[in-house]
């Protein structure tokens, strides 16, 4: 269940999902299923990924999401926020109620100096 505090700290978009700033997303990771919609090379690339993120490339999202719990809050992530915005719209269309888009994507996460997982070199 998503907390009222998380909802109140996000911004509702016209598409029905919520934009969430990186520092707020980091504070609420325990409430969110984090789905990274970049390609595999980006997921393992220099920007790293949000801790605990699951890789589901945008092109495979609709099929993968068909079996997910639609009541669980989902944070979608990409490089800059564009693909994740499209992903959030897809999830809302599929009936997900609590969908959040990471504002500015991994570029913004990186700019805020937030912790990230990386593949060991």
pLDDT tens digits for range 39-69: 999 999 999 999 999 999 999 999 999 999 9
Q: How many domains does the chain have?
A: 1
Question: What whole-number distance in Å separates Cα of residue 120 and Cα of residue 99?
Answer: 31
pLDDT band with cut points at 50, 70 and 90 for residue 121: very low
70-85: b (≥16 Cβ within 10 Å) or e: eeebbbbbbbebebbb
In the three-class reduction of DSSP (H, G, I as helix; E, B as strand; rest coil), residue 34 is classed as: strand
pLDDT band with cut points at 50, 70 and 90 for residue 91: very high
- Active-site residue set: 78
- The domain spanning residue 70 has which CATH number? 3.40.250.10
Answer for the pair 34, 17: CB distance below 8 angstroms, yes or no. no
> In this model, does residue 30 exceed pLDDT 60?
yes
Any domain includes 119: no
Question: What whole-number distance in Å separates Cα of residue 64 and Cα of residue 99?
Answer: 16
The mean pLDDT of the chain is: 95
Query: Residue 33's domain spans which residues?
Result: 4-111
- Percent of the chain at pLDDT > 90 equals 94
> In this model, does residue 119 exceed pLDDT 90?
no
């Amino acid at each position: 269940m998503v907390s009222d505090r998380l909802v109140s700290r996000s911004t509702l978009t016209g598409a029905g999902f919520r934009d969430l700033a990186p520092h707020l997303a980091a504070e609420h990771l325990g409430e969110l299923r984090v789905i990274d919609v970049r390609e595999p090379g980006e997921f393992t690339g220099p920007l790293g990924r949000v801790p605990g993120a699951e890789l589901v490339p945008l092109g495979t999202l609709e099929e993968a999401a068909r079996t997910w719990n639609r009541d669980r809050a989902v944070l979608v992530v990409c490089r800059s926020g564009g693909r994740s915005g499209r992903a959030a719209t897809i999830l809302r269309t599929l009936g997900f109620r609590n969908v959040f888009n990471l504002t500015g994507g991994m570029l913004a996460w990186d700019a805020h100096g937030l912790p990230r997982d990386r593949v060991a070199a």
